[in-house]
Structure 1
Amino acid sequence: MDTSTMIFIAVGLIAVIAGLYIYFYNKDKKTLPEAPAAPGSQELAHSKQLRLQAYERLVILAERIALPNLISRSNEPGLDKRSMQQLLTQTIRQEFDYNLSQQIYVSNEAWEAIRNLKEQNIHIINQIASILPEDISGVELNKKVIEFIMNQPQGSMHTMVQEALSYEARKLMA
């Protein structure tokens, strides 16, 4: 893989991770105004339950579109690079589209984190695929993507997104 491209991808990934970390760190410092308490209100309890379920589904989505997990589920021997690239990106888009309605139950920041995770994962797959020779196998593409993810010193973005979603869900339960 070309060194300058790897550096470009790594810097972009680090910037996204750092931005999410700073955003959720600063948001943690601020107190959110609480909704007016209505003791015994079934509607409020039902709304809270829907929101918690949405956060739960988004945590699962983040786990499902995490590149190592996605590759282990989608690893089909015999596919060429282009077919594997299409399979991986299509699977990410389908998983995301399936959970699209959850955005109405979660904060804009939580939804934006999920959307950024989707876009970043597709970007990584496409960037690595564009660097590799055309005649390489899909298995080799998967290996290069995993290798790239393992070489990230800040850790994985999907873990950070999951932690942010869990934090917001815990605040909702408090």
Structure 2
Amino acid sequence: MTDFSDYLPYAAALVIAIPFLVLLRQFVYTYINLKNQEIKLLSVKSNSENKTHSYERMTLFLERIKPSNLVQKFDKDLAAHEFIFLTEKTINEEFEYNASQQLYLTKNSWQNIVDSKNAVIDLLHKTYESLNNNPDLTEYKTVFIMNYMNDNDYIGATIEDLRREILIIA
């Protein structure tokens, strides 16, 4: 028979170590859970910041394509058809630059932005076609702005929709 008294120091060490190991395991488990929650929170915050940034960029795009802002661009010595070409090119380039923002916008908002862009480009061409004689640039710009003002303010409506959506997100 073996003498259990030889194992008594090991048993005492084990009795002392088990509660310590249980507490250590609980601490590590809690620490890992807190870190996972922190990562999730940072991910949600980052996504929210991306959405906010997208709404800001697309609002800026819409402001830039308002006819009142477009007529201030480019040299005053251009012909009307040159102004139309350069304006349409600028609108399309800026739109393509911002196309990735659709990932963070609602489908409806993105469609409204696309429709607003296309409506401005259509208005550029329709205004030119309505002025049968080759108009000078000042006359063209005046009629262009007047045509926009006489139509629905689709850019303003789109910006207002973006504003309402961002309030829901925030």
Alignment TM-score, normalising by the size of structure 1: 0.71
Bigger Cα Rg: 2
Q: Deviations over 1:97-156 (max 9, x none)?
A: 12111011111111111100000000011111112134322222111101112223x4x1
Aligned-residue identity in percent: 24
In the TM superposition, residue 66 of structure 1 has moved relative to its aligned partner by: 1.0
Other structure's SS at 1:106 match: coil
Map of 2:43 onto structure 1: 43
Distance in 2 of aligned mates of 1:82 and 1:125: 10
Map of 1:56 onto structure 2: 56
In the TM superposition, residue 75 of structure 1 has moved relative to its aligned partner by: 4.7
Distance in 1 of aligned mates of 2:71 and 2:140: 10
Preserved contact between residue 116 and residue 155 of structure 2 (Cα < 8 Å)? yes
Pairing partner for 1:163 from 146, 160, 164? 160
**Residue 124 of structure 2 is aligned to residue 101 of structure 1:** no
Distance in 2 of aligned mates of 1:123 and 1:148: 11
Preserved contact between residue 123 and residue 148 of structure 2 (Cα < 8 Å)? no
Preserved contact between residue 81 and residue 134 of structure 1 (Cα < 8 Å)? no
Map of 1:66 onto structure 2: 66
Distance in 2 of aligned mates of 1:67 and 1:84: 12
Query: Which runs of no fewer than 5 residues in structure 2 stay unpaired?
Result: 1-35
- Change in Cα spacing, 1:160 to 1:111, as seen in structure 2 (3 Å) is same
Distance in 2 of aligned mates of 1:47 and 1:80: 45
Map of 1:3 onto structure 2: none
Alignment TM-score, normalising by the size of structure 2: 0.73
Structure 1 stretches of 4+ with a deviation exceeding 6 A read none
Map of 1:15 onto structure 2: none
